[in-house]
């Protein structure tokens, strides 16, 4: 069974750093892209970027380039999304999802990680 399991909810202060994770199982982790999607409270889905764990090829949405870093450790089938200095506006639910290629759909999704940034 394909599963993407994300790390738990986080509460952070502005300026702090954070790294959340997404662990894949039930499929060849290095053969699929992992994408990250933001959903701010009460708002729609926003595509942030993707990584191919097989060779760490990474692409970012222009809206998120320079704001976050996407990485992966294929030895433990885990992708990451990290911030070096959080802002209150980063408060959102973050989802990871996999797809076979950039033209393929996001077919399996993680359960989401809620990040709350508040002083």
> Which positions touch another protein (CB under 8 A)?
35, 37, 44-47, 50, 59, 61-62, 95, 97, 102-107, 109-112
At closest approach, how far in Å is the CB of 97 from another protein?
Answer: 8
Dist CA 32 CA 55 (whole Å): 11
At closest approach, how far in Å is the CB of 33 from another protein?
Answer: 9
Residue 44 or 75: the one with the smaller Cβ distance to another protein is 44
Sheet bearing 18-25, strands edge to edge: 3-6, 18-25, 78-83, 69-73
At closest approach, how far in Å is the CB of 14 from another protein?
Answer: 26
Query: Do the Cβ atoms of 36 and 48 come closer than 8 Å?
Result: yes
């Amino acid at each position: 069974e394909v599963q993407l399991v994300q790390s738990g909810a986080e509460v952070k202060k502005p300026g702090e750093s954070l790294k959340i994770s997404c662990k894949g199982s039930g499929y060849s982790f290095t053969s699929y892209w992992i994408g990250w999607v933001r959903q701010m409270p009460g708002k729609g889905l926003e595509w942030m970027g993707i990584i191919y764990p097989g060779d760490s090829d990474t692409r970012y949405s222009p809206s998120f380039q320079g704001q976050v870093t996407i990485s992966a450790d294929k030895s433990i089938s885990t992708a990451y999304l990290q911030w070096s200095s959080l802002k209150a506006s980063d408060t959102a639910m973050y989802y990871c999802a996999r797809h076979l290629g950039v033209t393929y759909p996001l077919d399996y999704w993680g359960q989401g990680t809620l990040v709350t940034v508040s002083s």
